[in-house]
Amino acid sequence: MANIRKLVIAGLGNMAGAMLDGWMAAGQDPARFSALGPRPKKTPDGVAFYCDPAEVQGHDALLLGFKPHHLPEVSPTLQAIASAEVTVYSLLAGITLDQLRSAFPKAKAHVRVMPNLASRIGKSPIILAELGLDHDERKAANALFDDLGQSVWLDSEEHYDLCTALAGSGPGFVYRFIDALATAAHELGLDAESARSLSLAMVEGGAALAAASDLSPGELAERVASPGGMTREGLNVLDDNRALHNLLVETLRATRDRGAALSAGSN
């Protein structure tokens, strides 16, 4: 089977750094990875860092980890390392496969990759879409990215930005919800540390149970909510006029549409 022998990461930001930490935690050989950027950065032991693209050699995969709006200025500097033997993997939100192919026309193949920060602990969904990979090469990509969680291929880019909004940006919304729960409990009289620790423990346990249960999250919510009880009273607030539903539809819509704006070149 085809294998990704060596991956160089261009732009070791928060997301790419979380992925690299996840690969190291999964037991990957550090020599399989290197990083590239304009200024030296600390990397895990055994992972080389280069400031000059001309120094990068022996790789067969390039992962783009910089900000999407930097693509026009950065791509010319990477042409020599995006050769016909190299597959370009991209974390650039909103940048389509056609745009990647246009930016790196000599590359062997082009792949969009969208994980989240839970890559660091091997708990991230990884959304993938590709141009130019064969069956074995897709399996090789699975083998690498499954170390970070669970990789999922989309056959079409039509819903890629929506999947990014849900699985890539989603942790930000969950963190904000946890923070809001803790803040609300504090405002109602609970000390801040207890509110924070209880909120975190509740969400961790609730998510683990939902993942392991045969029941849907909606069904689990109903199991918690006894008629006339405390939970039901709280759910009535969230359900009134579909308040939570409508809020999340607008949240995902705004996030998804930002991907389209990034693709079109808006700042």
How high is the pLDDT of residue 263? 81
Residue 2 lies in a domain: no
The residue-averaged pLDDT of 141-162 equals: 94
Instruction: Give the residue from 157, 191, 225 where a domain finishes.
Output: 157
- Please tell me whether residues 174 and 93 are part of one structural domain: no
How high is the pLDDT of residue 34? 97
Instruction: Give the residue from 103, 130, 157 where a domain finishes.
Output: 157
Examine the pLDDT at 43 and tell me if it is beyond 60: yes
Examine the pLDDT at 266 and tell me if it is beyond 60: no
The residue-averaged pLDDT of 112-132 equals: 96
Q: 128 has which bridge partners?
A: 113, 153
Domain count within the chain: 2
Q: Which two tokens stand for residue 127?
A: 């959304």
Q: 131 has which bridge partners?
A: 110
Examine the pLDDT at 245 and tell me if it is beyond 70: yes
Confidence of residue 1 (pLDDT cuts 50, 70, 90): very low
- Please tell me whether residues 41 and 135 are part of one structural domain: yes
55-66: pLDDT as tens digits? 998 999 999 999
- CA terminus-to-terminus distance, the chain: 41
Residue-averaged pLDDT of the chain: 95
Q: Which two tokens stand for residue 33?
A: 């990875």
The CATH number given to whatever domain includes residue 223 is 1.10.3730.10
CB atoms inside a 10 Å sphere around CB 55: 12
How high is the pLDDT of residue 8? 97
Helix (H) or strand (E) holding 128: strand 124-131
Domain coverage including residue 230 = 170-262
Examine the pLDDT at 13 and tell me if it is beyond 80: yes
Burial 195-226 (b: 16+ CB within 10 A, else e): bbeebeeeeeeeeeeeeeeeeeeeeebeeebe
The CATH number given to whatever domain includes residue 30 is 3.40.50.720
How high is the pLDDT of residue 2? 67
Instruction: Give the residue from 157, 189, 221 where a domain finishes.
Output: 157
Residue 185 lies in a domain: yes
- Please tell me whether residues 31 and 108 are part of one structural domain: yes
CB atoms inside a 10 Å sphere around CB 116: 24
Query: At 261, which amino acid appears?
Result: A
Residue 18 lies in a domain: yes
Q: What is the pTM of this model?
A: 0.89
- Please tell me whether residues 21 and 103 are part of one structural domain: yes
- Please tell me whether residues 153 and 54 are part of one structural domain: yes
How high is the pLDDT of residue 267? 57
